[in-house]
Each structure stands twice: as C-alpha cells, then as structure tokens.
A and B are shown apart, each in its own frame.
Chain A
Amino acid sequence: MGGDLSQTEVLVIGAGLSGAIACQRLARAGIGVTCLEQGEWNPRESYPGDKPDFELQALGPWNANPNIRRGKADYPILDDTSDIKPLLFNGVGGSTVMFSAHWMRFLPSDFFTYTLDGVGTDWPIDYHELEPYYLQTEADIGVSGLAGDPAYPDRPEYPMPPLPIQPWGEKVAEAHDRLGWHWWPGSNAINSRLHQGRRPCVQRSTCRAGCNEGAKGQADQSIWPSAIAAGAKLVTGARVARILTNPQGRAEGALFVDEFGVTRKACADIVVLAAHAIGTARLLLKSVDAAWPDGLANSSGVVGKNLMMHPMNRMVGFFDEPMSSWQGHWGQSIYSMEFAETRAEHDFARGAKWNLSPTGGPLNAALYPLDDPQPFGVDLHDRVDKWLGRSALWGMVAEDLPDSHNFLTLDSAHSDVDGDGLPRLHYETSENSKRMLSFMAKRARESFGAAGAYEVAEQTLAAEIGWHPLGTCRMGNDPRNSVVDKWNRCHDIPNLLIVDGSSFVTSSCVNPAATISAIAARAVDRLIHCRSEY
C-alpha cells in the first residue's frame, strides 16, 4: 500500500486498445507514462477456450456483457432504456480481450457523410491523414489480410497473408462472384504466421473469450509487452473515480482507488482518457465541481451525447454438407462491402458491412437467439442437427448515425461505489437503421441462397450485441458542438486528451478497432512532437 503516485509526465486512464497504443508510443519516445487500469491482467491460461465447458463459460463469467459477467472490475451499466445492450471488457487489453478481431479501415466516404449524403456530420480529419497510422498500428497489432480490395484505396500488403476463408467462405465467395457482388478475404487481427513472437492461429474458434494461443492481437498480448519493455508503467486494480483539475483550468491528474480500496492521487502534466466510449463519458460526468457543474470538459453539453451502437442483424445459412463450422477463427472468414456505400435506389442513407463467420458448438446452436422462439423438445434436436458443422453466419453491421437523443447520463437514482449515479444508456434504433437492416436481410437470403443454403434463419436487430459503443465525446472544430479537437485534445482543457472510441464523429459500418488505434496513435504522435504546446 502506498501514498500518492509520483508525478509522471503523462497519465493514461484505461489499459485497453487505445490506452495500450498511447502508452507504447509515449514510452518508445522516452516520455514518462503511467497507466491506471481498473481491471487486472488475465493470463492466457485463464481463458476457457481450451476447456470442454467453454461454451458454458462464454455465456457466464466470460460473457462480453458486463451486467451478466459481473466481474470484479465491472461497473453496472443501466441498459433498460437502450434497444441494444453494451458489450465490453474491463481489464488489461480492454474490450480487445473479447473482440472478434475483424480489422477494418474506415472508407474514405465515412469522414464526409454530411457533405456526400446530407446525414451525420463530417469529421475534421480524413482517410489520408489516418493512413500512415493505420499502417503502423497494423504492424504492431499483427493483422492478416489481402491487399487489393476494390472497395478500398490501394494499400501495401498486410503484415501477414489472410487466414483460410473456410469452406463456407468459398461457397459464399463463389455465390457473390455469380451475383456480381463484392466479397473479400477477411482482414483480422489474428496471426496467420508467427508474428513478433506470437504464434499463428489454431482455428479453435474461441476468440470471443480471449485467445489461449496468443494469436489474436488483443492489446494485452500484442501491445502491452512492448509498451512495458519501453518503460511504460501499468498499475492494475486502479479504478479512477475523478479527473482532477487545478484553478488554472488544467488537468492535474486523477483520484483512484487501488486494489486495497485505498484512495490515492496520481499527478501528471498531461492526462489521456482511454477508458472506452462508456467509461470515458462516465468519468467526465462524474468529475463535477464548482467549475464544471455539468461534467468536466463539457461546456458544449455534448459529453455523453451522440451514442452510437452499430445495430446489426445476423443471418444463419444452413447447408447440406458437413463443414466443421464450429472451428475456424471467430473473426471474419470473408466480408462484403457490396452495400456499404449510399446508393440512390435505397430508402436509407449509408450502408452496412457484412462479415461471414463460423457458428460455434452445440450449445450455441441450441441457445442462439434467432427470431423464432427458443426451441425445445424434438425441435431443439432438429436445430442442432441442422446447425452444428453445417452452417455459416452473416453479421450485417449498420452504420449508425449520430443523434443527440441517443446518449449516456449518470442516473442518480442508482449509485456506484463512489456514490455517483450509474451510467445509463438511452438508445433507440433509428428508422434509417431499421430500413437498412430489413433491406440487408433480404439480400443476405439471396447471398446464402446462391451459395446453396437450403434454409436461412434470421435474428433481426440483435439486441444483445452492443459491441461498438462510440461517439460520446465527439471530435470537431467547433467547441460549441464537440468535446475534442482534431488532435483529440479537449477544447475546454488543453492538457486533457480523449483517444478512445468516444471521439468518433460517425460510426462507419465497419468495426472500429483499426480506426480507434489509428486515431490514438495520431493524437499521441502529435503530443510527442508538439509537447511544449500542451
């Protein structure tokens, strides 16, 4: 047990994806950096993937929903006012411990939704500004994939060749070829070769509960070892309760509760928030005082607003042939950007990204929440016979547009351990998303049909899959309607940065981790190079 931590140059809050990237780069640049993380290291041996009861554990103590998992580091999130339930992980590596590792860059149009389509808001940065950071972080995380996708600008080869697209991927690729539709081998933060001392994937398909092999680029395994080797200090079991500011209006550190329950102070010249779109907005709203009655860095009133959750549909195609589809990386076998961009003939703006995956073991088959009611009796045996080893799953992720009616607040009727209100999500799926996903469901039936599926089952608006909360402290040039500037610095507090997914302006239809990494790397590089301005 100790007193206050010694003063550091930079204090990072959260050791997830963005926090790891920030610490790695700061430490490599010789800048003193300490990271406070409320959770712990979860060693590879603790993951359930190589145990026979994997599927049971993945539904309970390794569930991605913190309200179900209820781990020691998890804080409750009130979600009965949200159409979609949040998924995240609190521990070293953050949500990447559980992520499916689909690694996708934003499309160039994603940064200009207002100019191009009259919806959402333009970003103050663009694809080309992020490009070098996409490249650098792909190498650090370890990404496998194939260059040459016509849905994207040209790019160099990935650090590793793509993983096998699997028999179901081949069937659907052939079908899309016949339909004249786009498909591409999945890009995944999963090793297809030995990469930086981490072994290749063994295709066990248990990625959603941590990778036992160290093949998945989860930040605790890919980034943190090199960050620590470069000198970054990581304090685990350190739950930050408040960001501290001084009378001059600058951040001066954080108050945290250590693993023994002792409240301590960590002081720094610069504070970087990397606590996830929910955790960061929550911390700012908790950090109220006379100077900041509505929450720190919230003169705009935008902290917590514009919550985006990436609504999705999932479709399961059933095939006659056995394909052992409980194996294979749980990341994407292939993806399709056929319907990713706005088209004049659609009755919705923007689009969806499709990703094709394996379908898990027998418990997943039995309990999977399709639109049909939960089967039991003979129907349940039939479902398992049809599903197990003979199916594939299209997940269709809708681009979610920012809307100030979708937001996070602190609900004072329910207190957290510090006596502050618990975070409450208010989120309603938009009509645009509903129309888009209804269109996508019809097209996915065509896709599976052309691939030879004899039946297709649907899960419309998968309420339990809020895997991408974003946008709660958005970036912008105008301090009246954004929280951070284009370098991720808070407009209100120049030495406070927010580098996680809360800074997203719009959500794209692709998975966010690649862009979160690139944005964090870019923000921190600017801090390193223009240190005196902060």
Chain B
Amino acid sequence: MVDSVHRELILALAKEVLPGNDHQPAAIDVDISGEPLDRVLSSRPDLEGRLLDILERFAADESLTAAGFVATLDAQELRVLMTVFCGAYFLVREVRRAIAYTGQQALTLDRGGFGGEELAIKQMNLPKRYRKPPERVG
C-alpha cells in the first residue's frame, strides 16, 4: 500500500521528472501524489508493486539526488515510473487545460466530403501503377 512516506518520495522525484514549463504546471504544484496517484493505481493496480520497489530503493540510497536516481533506472523501471507519474499528471484537469487537451471526444462526422477530393481525382487520372502478374498456367 502506498503510504505518506511514499507520497513524499513521489513528490521529491516529481520535481525532476515533471518540473513544469512556462505553461505546464509543475507536478508538485498539482500534487500528483494525492488523488491523481490514487486514480492511476486504481486503473492500473498492476503498477503498484513495481512502483513501491522503485520508491523503496530511492529511499534507501541517500547519496543519490532525485535526478541521479532516475538515471540509475533500467528501461523497464523508467517505464513504470513514467507511466505512473505522467499518467497521474495528465489526469489533472488543470494540466489538461494548460495543454489544451479536451480528452478523446465523440464528434459528429462531417458529411461534406472527405477532404482532398481534387487531389484524389488527379491521382485517379494517373496510369495504373500496379504490376500485372503473369497469367497462371494450368
């Protein structure tokens, strides 16, 4: 189970992993270690054990900075960490607003045409380009 110590470790790492930029907020400012993390782990309970292993290793090695620690992760561990952190971060409404992401929405199909009709007609008028195979004998 993720406890308050783990949540603090997540915030310490989040400073390095998702520091924010001029319009995307920092992960610590939207506190990904709270409700967003819980949402990720309820969608993906399979990630929890591996996340805890990573956090416990981070806690055990005081000589490493957060950035130094992230650099020690192998590809699979980094994938787990990034999936949890980014998964939580991009679920936050404020972050979605900042990146102008409206979610995967149901839209009404435009019935006006498919786009590029004139260009398709040009293609249609070109000579056939496929290779004709030989007639099969027998």
Q: Is the CB of A385 within 8 A of B110?
A: no
Query: Which residue of A60, A167, A182 contacts B46 across the interface (Cβ within 8 Å)?
Result: A60
Please measure, in the bound complex, the distance between the C-alpha atom of A467 and the C-alpha atom of B53, giving whole angstroms.
Answer: 32
- Once A60-B44, A165-B114, A204-B106 are accepted as A-B contacts, the answer to whether A150 and B86 lie under 8 Å apart by CB is no
How would residues 98 to 138 of chain B score, 1 for a CB under 8 Å from any chain A CB and 0 otherwise? 01111111111110001110011011101111111110100
Interface stretch of the complex, out of A233-241, A279-287, A359-367, A515-523: A359-367
How would residues 44 to 74 of chain A score, 1 for a CB under 8 Å from any chain B CB and 0 otherwise? 0000011011111101110000000000000
Q: Is the CB of B133 within 8 A of A205?
A: no
Main secondary structure of the interface of B (DSSP, over half): loop
Q: Which residues of A contact B51 (CB under 8 A)?
A: none
- Once A150-B123, A377-B19, A381-B21 are accepted as A-B contacts, the answer to whether A56 and B83 lie under 8 Å apart by CB is yes
| CB-CB nearest in chain A for B108 | A202
How would residues 329 to 347 of chain A score, 1 for a CB under 8 Å from any chain B CB and 0 otherwise? 0000010010001100000
| CB-CB nearest in chain B for A381 | B21
Whether, in the assembled complex, A107 has its beta carbon less than 8 Å from a beta carbon of chain B, the answer is: yes
Within 8 A of A (CB), among B89-103: 90-91, 96, 99-103
| Shortest beta-carbon distance from B48 to chain A in Å | 12
Query: Which residue of B18, B19, B103, B106 contacts A52 across the interface (Cβ within 8 Å)?
Result: B103
Q: Is the CB of B17 within 8 A of A116?
A: no
Whether, in the assembled complex, B39 has its beta carbon less than 8 Å from a beta carbon of chain A, the answer is: yes
| CB-CB nearest in chain B for A115 | B134
Q: Is the CB of B109 within 8 A of A153?
A: no
Q: Which residues of B contact A127 (CB under 8 A)?
A: 133
| CB-CB nearest in chain B for A334 | B116
Q: Is the CB of B90 within 8 A of A362?
A: yes
Please measure, in the bound complex, the distance between the C-alpha atom of A198 and the C-alpha atom of B21, giving whole angstroms.
Answer: 44
- Once A362-B101, A367-B83, A378-B21 are accepted as A-B contacts, the answer to whether A327 and B130 lie under 8 Å apart by CB is no
Please measure, in the bound complex, the distance between the C-alpha atom of A127 and the C-alpha atom of B100, giving whole angstroms.
Answer: 47
- Once A173-B116, A177-B119, A374-B78 are accepted as A-B contacts, the answer to whether A163 and B133 lie under 8 Å apart by CB is no
| CB-CB nearest in chain A for B132 | A108
| Shortest beta-carbon distance from A192 to chain B in Å | 7
Whether, in the assembled complex, A161 has its beta carbon less than 8 Å from a beta carbon of chain B, the answer is: yes
Q: Is the CB of A153 within 8 A of B21?
A: no
| CB-CB nearest in chain B for A167 | B115
Please measure, in the bound complex, the distance between the C-alpha atom of A185 and the C-alpha atom of B44, giving whole angstroms.
Answer: 37
Choose among A108, A166, A169, A377 the residue with the greatest number of B CB atoms under 10 Å from its CB: A377
Query: Which residue of A108, A169, A322 contacts B116 across the interface (Cβ within 8 Å)?
Result: A169
Within 8 A of B (CB), among A187-230: 192, 200-206, 213
Please measure, in the bound complex, the distance between the C-alpha atom of A213 and the C-alpha atom of B104, giving whole angstroms.
Answer: 13
How would residues 391 to 435 of chain A score, 1 for a CB under 8 Å from any chain B CB and 0 otherwise? 000000000000000000000000000000000000000000000
| CB-CB nearest in chain B for A126 | B136
Within 8 A of A (CB), among B1-53: 16-21, 24, 39-40, 43-44, 46-47
Q: Which residues of A contact B105 (CB under 8 A)?
A: 204, 327
Within 8 A of B (CB), among A77-126: 107-109, 111-112, 115-116, 126
17 residue pairs from A and B, CB less than 8 Å apart: A49-B104, A61-B46, A108-B133, A146-B114, A150-B129, A166-B115, A177-B122, A183-B123, A202-B107, A363-B83, A366-B82, A367-B82, A374-B82, A378-B21, A388-B99, A389-B100, A389-B101
Interface residues of A (CB under 8 A from B): 49-50, 52-57, 59-61, 107-109, 111-112, 115-116, 126-127, 146, 148-153, 161-167, 169-170, 173-174, 177, 182-185, 192, 200-206, 213, 322, 324, 326-327, 334, 337, 341-342, 361-363, 366-367, 374, 376-378, 380-382, 384-385, 388-389
Interface residues of B (CB under 8 A from A): 16-21, 24, 39-40, 43-44, 46-47, 67, 70, 75, 78-79, 82-83, 86-87, 90-91, 96, 99-110, 114-116, 119-120, 122-124, 126-134, 136
